[in-house]
Amino acid sequence: MKLNLKLTEKEAITIKVSMIKNLFVILFTLFSSIIYASDDASHKSDTSASEGNHENHETKFDAGEFITHHIADAHEIHFFTLNEGTDHEKHFTIYLPVIVNTGSGLEMFSASHFYHNKHNVEVNGKHKHYFTYNDLVLFEEQIYKASGIEGIQFDEAGKITNQSLTDFSPTKSVIGLFLTGIILLLLFGSAAKKYKSRPNTAPKGLQNLLEPLVIFVRDDIAIPSIGKEHGHRFTPFLLTTFFFIWLANILGLVPFFGGFNIMGTLGVTLVLATLVFIITTINGKAYYWSHIFWPHGVPLPIKFILVPIEIVQIFMKPLVLMIRLTANITAGHIIILAFTCLVFIFGQQNVGAGYGVGVGSVLFMIFMYFIELLVVFLQAYVFTLLTALYFGAALEKPHH
Gap between the Cα atoms of 98 and 175, Å rounded: 12
- Going from the C-alpha of 247 to that of each of 20, 170, 227, 362, the distances in angstroms are 20, 19, 27, 24
48-52: long-range contacts (C-beta < 8 A, 24 or more apart)? Answer: 50/119, 50/120, 50/121, 50/122
Compute the residue count for the chain.
400
CB of 83 to other proteins, least distance (A): 28
The nearer residue to other proteins, 203 or 354, going by C-beta atoms, is 203
CB atoms within 10 A of CB 9: 9
Phi and psi at residue 145, to the nearest 5°: -80, 135
Nearest C-alpha neighbor of 340 from the set 77, 111, 61:
61
The nearer residue to other proteins, 150 or 211, going by C-beta atoms, is 211
CB of 179 to other proteins, least distance (A): 10
The nearer residue to other proteins, 5 or 149, going by C-beta atoms, is 5
Which residues are at the interface with other proteins (CB under 8 A)?
13, 16-17, 20, 68, 71-73, 99, 140, 142, 166-171, 173-174, 177-178, 180-181, 184-185, 188-189, 191-192, 195-196, 199-201, 210-211, 214-215, 218, 232, 235-237, 239-240, 244, 265-268, 270-272, 275, 326, 330
The nearer residue to other proteins, 44 or 198, going by C-beta atoms, is 198
The nearer residue to other proteins, 268 or 394, going by C-beta atoms, is 268
The nearer residue to other proteins, 27 or 378, going by C-beta atoms, is 27
Angle at CA 49, nearest 5°, toward 46 and 55? 60
CB of 284 to other proteins, least distance (A): 21
Which helix (H) or strand (E) is 322 found in, with range? helix 300-349
CB of 291 to other proteins, least distance (A): 28
The nearer residue to other proteins, 236 or 255, going by C-beta atoms, is 236
The nearer residue to other proteins, 206 or 307, going by C-beta atoms, is 206
251 touches 166 (CB < 8 A): no
Q: Give the ranges where 63-171 is alpha helix by DSSP (H).
A: 63-71, 112-115
Gap between the Cα atoms of 17 and 21, Å rounded: 6
Nearest C-alpha neighbor of 325 from the set 270, 368, 241, 264:
264
CB of 181 to other proteins, least distance (A): 4
CB of 51 to other proteins, least distance (A): 28
CB of 142 to other proteins, least distance (A): 7
The answer for residues whose C-beta is within 8 angstroms of residue 30's C-beta and 6 or more apart is: 97
Query: Three-state DSSP class for 79?
Result: strand
Which residues, listed in sequence order, are joined to residue 92 by a DSSP beta bridge? Answer: 80
Gap between the Cα atoms of 328 and 172, Å rounded: 19
The nearer residue to other proteins, 44 or 159, going by C-beta atoms, is 159
Pairing of strands 76-82, 90-95: antiparallel
